[in-house]
Amino acid sequence: MKNSFKTVAMNENNPKWKNVISRIAPLETRSNDIRSGFDRDYTRIIHSNAYRRLKHKTQVFFSPENDHICTRIEHVTHVESISYTIASYLGLNTELTKAIAVAHDLGHSPFGHEGEKILSEISSRDLGYSFWHEKNGLDFVDSIELLVGHDGYKKNLNLSYGIRDGIISHCGEIDENALRPRNEFIALNEYVRPNQYAPYTWEACVVKISDKISYIGRDIEDAITLGILDNHLEELYSLLNFNSSETLNNSTIINYLVCDLCENSSPEKGLCFSSKAFNLMNKIKEFNYNHIYFSRRTRTSIKYFKLVINEIYDILKECYDKENTLQNLNSLRKFYPKLANEFYHFLENYCDFGNREELKLKNKVIFNISDEKDFSKAIISYISGMTDNFAMEMYNEIIRF
């Protein structure tokens, strides 16, 4: 029902308001700024390098030369659009949903979820804990991404709690009991695994559901474009109760699921679909896993992804030698100048060496270059921020003479 969530929307009358707008540090202000805090967060996110790089990161299909296949940045734009439609209809805070939506996948690695799995294997082996993109996304907006402030110094993004919570809480399946926000205001570093807690706001819950609505239809549309589903179209049409004369595309599936969600949700019941729509969504996801995500065609490139990421990691990790690490990294420039230079400049921003005043840095120092685990974590963070194209370029630099 329209505006049925208006009484629980995130605004000054909501008891969670002060927690949701809280920040790690006070945010710089201008006397003539006409934007709200969430709008400023949105602007800070889309001006970040991590956001810009999403346009060259794989969503599902590794297809860097096909302009019409969904990349990660198109996905987050879809999520922003869907979450806006839902939040606007239900009476929730659309400024909050749009900021969470554009930020929710900033922690994704190159090569999509396969790249994430490879980095997780490395992290589990060398750091003792897994790598997961929701936590990495929080790390990026808290500690990695830098913007130049009014004084000319680089500083952390310093986003509000509501957006940071939406980033780390956005993954996980939607069950029959519907989705509701948690009541507890927790330190977000308490997360130790994906989907450990429900989001803190209804708005973040909307983004979490919009994420699912966005990808299941678009992945089908892309798979049809690439010919992956040529032998399964009859099964797909039967599943969706379509006939072959009707147009099957992403907007058809999105419209059905969004309208169903809006009609069946309430603060009392939670954000939920009808049984029919929920069952259909699960069937679509099962179809996608069987014929798209686990298909022979999409799995072929995994060996290449492993080779690229592991080789970059190993080359950089070989530089570690306590106090001699920087010297070894400088020596690496002889053979791999771009990789060595780029990683050195990355470390300059976050380590305890160099002249921070000269570099105009006022961000947090997060790595100790003499600590082996810190050095490994820095490499993983660096690789996770790469685009597909840049990772391949670095690998090509490594293998050529």
Cα–Cα–Cα angle for 396, 388, 359, rounded to 5 degrees: 85
Residues 6+ apart with CB under 8 A from 105: 54, 72, 75, 76, 133, 137
Between the CA of residue 363 and those of 45, 154, 354, what are the distances in Å?
Answer: 16, 7, 14
The pLDDT tens digits for 338-347 are: 999 999 999 9
Co-location of 276 and 173 in the same domain? yes
| CA 118/CA 188 separation, integer angstroms | 24
The pLDDT tens digits for 356-381 are: 999 999 999 999 999 999 999 999 99
Co-location of 292 and 309 in the same domain? no
pLDDT given at position 343: 98
Which residue, among 303, 316, 309, has the nearest Cα to 388 in the 3D structure? 309
Domain final residue pick, 299, 319, 337: 299
Domain final residue pick, 283, 299, 315: 299
Average pLDDT over residues 157-171: 96
Instruction: Look at residue 141 and tell me whether its pLDDT is greater than 70.
Output: yes
Higher-scoring residue by pLDDT: 336, 34:
336
Co-location of 330 and 377 in the same domain? yes
Co-location of 149 and 279 in the same domain? yes
- Whether 162 is covered by a domain: the verdict is yes
- Whether 209 is covered by a domain: the verdict is yes
Of the pLDDT bands very low, low, confident and very high (cuts 50, 70, 90), residue 353 is: confident
- Whether 137 is covered by a domain: the verdict is no
Co-location of 347 and 278 in the same domain? no
| Overall domain count for the chain | 2
Co-location of 263 and 371 in the same domain? no
The pLDDT tens digits for 67-78 are: 888 999 999 999
Co-location of 365 and 276 in the same domain? no
CATH number assigned to the domain comprising residue 196: 1.10.3210.10
SS3 154: strand
The pLDDT tens digits for 23-40 are: 999 888 777 888 889 999
- Whether 6 is covered by a domain: the verdict is no
Instruction: Look at residue 391 and tell me whether its pLDDT is greater than 80.
Output: yes
| CA 59/CA 215 separation, integer angstroms | 9
Domain final residue pick, 299, 332, 354: 299
For residue 274, give both structure tokens: 């009808």
Co-location of 205 and 85 in the same domain? yes
The pLDDT tens digits for 204-253 are: 999 999 999 999 888 998 998 899 999 998 898 888 875 555 566 778 88
- Whether 356 is covered by a domain: the verdict is yes
Co-location of 227 and 270 in the same domain? yes
The count of other CB atoms within 10 Å of the CB of residue 4 is: 17
Co-location of 242 and 254 in the same domain? yes
- Whether 133 is covered by a domain: the verdict is no
The pLDDT tens digits for 76-122 are: 999 999 999 999 999 999 999 999 999 999 999 999 999 999 999 99
Between the CA of residue 314 and those of 128, 368, 378, what are the distances in Å?
Answer: 17, 19, 13
Question: Model's pTM, two decimal places?
Answer: 0.95
356 by Cβ neighbours in 10 Å (0-12 / 13-18 / 19+) ranks as: middle
pLDDT given at position 252: 84
- Please give the full DSSP string across 81-134, using - where no structure is assigned: HHHHHHHHHHT--HHHHHHHHHHTTTTPPTTHHHHHHHHHHHHHHHTSS---HH
| CA 309/CA 122 separation, integer angstroms | 10
Single-letter amino acid, residue 4: S
Co-location of 372 and 251 in the same domain? no
pLDDT given at position 173: 65
| CA 329/CA 346 separation, integer angstroms | 12
- Whether 4 is covered by a domain: the verdict is no
pLDDT given at position 298: 83
Mean pLDDT of the chain: 93
Higher-scoring residue by pLDDT: 127, 355:
127
| CA 45/CA 77 separation, integer angstroms | 13
Domain range for 44: 17-27+35-106+145-299
Single-letter amino acid, residue 64: P
Of the pLDDT bands very low, low, confident and very high (cuts 50, 70, 90), residue 150 is: confident
Co-location of 314 and 227 in the same domain? no
- Whether 115 is covered by a domain: the verdict is no
